[in-house]
Chains A and B, each alone.
Chain A
Amino acid sequence: MLAYIVRRVLYAILILIGVNLITFVLFFFVNSPDDMARMQLGAKYVTPDALQKWKADHGYDKPLLWNSKASGPGKATETIFYEKSLRLFAFDFGAAEDGRNIGNEIRTRMGPSLALQIPVFVVALCVNITFALFLAFFRATYLDFWGVVLCVAMMSISTLFYIIGGQYLISKVWHLFPISGYAGGLDAWRFVLLPVIIGVVSSFGSSARLYRTLFLEEYSKDYVRTARAKGLAERVVMFRHVLQNAMIPILTGVVAAIPFLFMGALLSESFFGIPGLGSYTIDAIQAQDFAVVRSMVFLGAVLYIIGLLLTDISYTLVDPRVRFD
């Protein structure tokens, strides 16, 4: 297993260089260093000298990818790409264009993101699997039919509708939870309860329907018939046999999603005023803050790679037939 992990880590370095390069090219395809300087300095009284000074101070006065005026390795190293990308591999994210330390921001914002995402993830997983098992148990009955109808209806509605509707109904009309806001520490639960409910409800339709399909597929297999023939109760067949064997496809999606919990939820964080990493990324894109965009994309790529690796490892845990060699 160790050799496998080492091999995957080596692949990861190449992937991360590629991700960095693509982010860099895409960002500078639509933004020039001059645009970034203007964005930071504002629209009034900006002189060409002030622009030049900003670029020099922030290291954007060099060529983007290739410095033909430099000699030797300097042609590649004395460039914006090299200087801005290299230190990411040491997880040194540097400072945002407004001067705030990105590492500190990520550490501070990770908490609120996780406070929202972990309950949504866990509760949604439990609810969706339970409901899918319920539908599978009552397959081909009116309960199954109306359950699927409900899933299809719920997955057809936009997340934004759930957020706005939830805020309106639960907070504005019923006055049960704060409509938005956040507080650190133990007080956080008051603010995350509403987004968690909405997060669970909005993911319900599509996930429950997918899991139901997976369970039904397992139901038709021989081992299920054998289990029943042994006289096992349907409850035992469901939870001990069907659920366990349907775990591989479920894990593929679920384990890979775990690292992404750190990255936050873009929409929910904005609407509920939760100061997590999702809203940080959105803000950075709007402010054309390349330093933050680059760092968040890099972090996302690292987490994705970790997620895939964890998925592979988790296969061996749920299915003894899977081996790394």
Chain B
Amino acid sequence: MLKSLHISPDKCTGCLQCELACSYENEGVFNPAKSRIKVFTFHQEGRFVPYTCTQCDEAWCMQACPVDAIVVNTATGSKDVLADVCVGCKVCTIACPFGTVNYSQDTGKVIKCDLCGGNPQCVEACPTAAITYVDADATGLDRMRAWAGKTDNAATARA
């Protein structure tokens, strides 16, 4: 069963623990500049929104790559960059509609979320459960449950 990252911006406090965990896992340093997940602050609105790759099925980045450096990880469903194949042409960064594949000046390759091989560290680090890793077929389950909880049984019975 595949799982998906599920993000609830209303729970985010903008603390960047996810960015720190991501960069530490992937780069070995605490460095939000190298994080595959980014938290955006909309100051005037008082909103914080974490954003990262959604692992599209027909991934634009994968389709666009001229050297087949982006491949499907069949265990997790993530689209992973093969660093030794990537030539740093950046076509994938143009192709991605969401901007979640980015070039790294230090390595000359692109980087993107690979779900940490099935154990996403951003999820581990998030103190408010704004980022969770859930059944890919049921990302709406919590919201459904919330609405279900508001259903008025008495009214339904009368109807």
A binds B: no
Residues of chain A touching chain B, judged by Cβ–Cβ distance below 8 Å, are none
